[in-house]
Amino acid sequence: MNNQLSMKLAETVKEAKKSLLFPPIYEDAYGEGDECYDEGTFFQRQGKGLLCGKMVFYSGEFYDLTIDGDVDLCMEVFLTDEGELVKFYTIRESRYCQVCQETHSRLHRMVAKDQYLDDDEIDAIINNISVDLKTAG
């Protein structure tokens, strides 16, 4: 990351920590309906409670249909309440259930081994946070 970009990021993150909300991040989640998650388990920070953050970047990697729904894998970056960027891979699955006659959704999020973000991604993250700051302010 070049100097100018990392300074801009640090400044934006500082503002975000003051103004944005950082809910706990689901590791596994379930719900009824599409993209609706209301129960599950959250990531734990070692000895420090729940890992909280806000999604600041999203990139679809894979999407396809299954026999009764769809599945999608994406890369996500969260800004944590401690000002760190954490990269995840997230699988979402939804399927129509004949028994309940509604859609069940399931999500599983994994911390990426390679936390590298390129300059274009950092640039997009700065933009996304700036938009959030405008709506929050």
Give the residue with the Cβ less far from Zn ion, 67 or 99.
99
Q: How many residues bind Zn ion (CB under 5 A)?
A: 3
Q: Does 136 bind Zn ion (CB under 5 A)?
A: no
**CA distances from residue 63 to 17, 74, 83, 84, 131 in whole angstroms, order as listed:** 33, 9, 30, 28, 27
Tokens standing for 124?
């997009």
Minimum CB distance to Zn ion, residue 105 (Å):
11
Residue from 21, 65, 67, 99 in contact with Zn ion (CB under 5 A): 99
Write out the binding residues for Zn ion, residues 51-70 only, by CB under 5 A.
Answer: none
* Residue for token pair 């640090």: 10
Cα 20 to Cα 113: distance, rounded to the nearest angstrom: 27
Stretch that binds Zn ion, among 22-30, 40-48, 68-76, 97-105 (CB under 5 A): 97-105
- Convert residues 67-96 into a mask of x (bound to Zn ion by CB under 5 A) and - (unbound): ------------------------------
Q: Does 97 bind Zn ion (CB under 5 A)?
A: yes
Q: Does 100 bind Zn ion (CB under 5 A)?
A: yes
Minimum CB distance to Zn ion, residue 116 (Å):
39
Cα 10 to Cα 96: distance, rounded to the nearest angstrom: 44
Contact between 48 and 66 under an 8 Å Cβ cutoff? The reply is no
Binding residues (CB under 5 A) for Zn ion: these are 97, 99-100
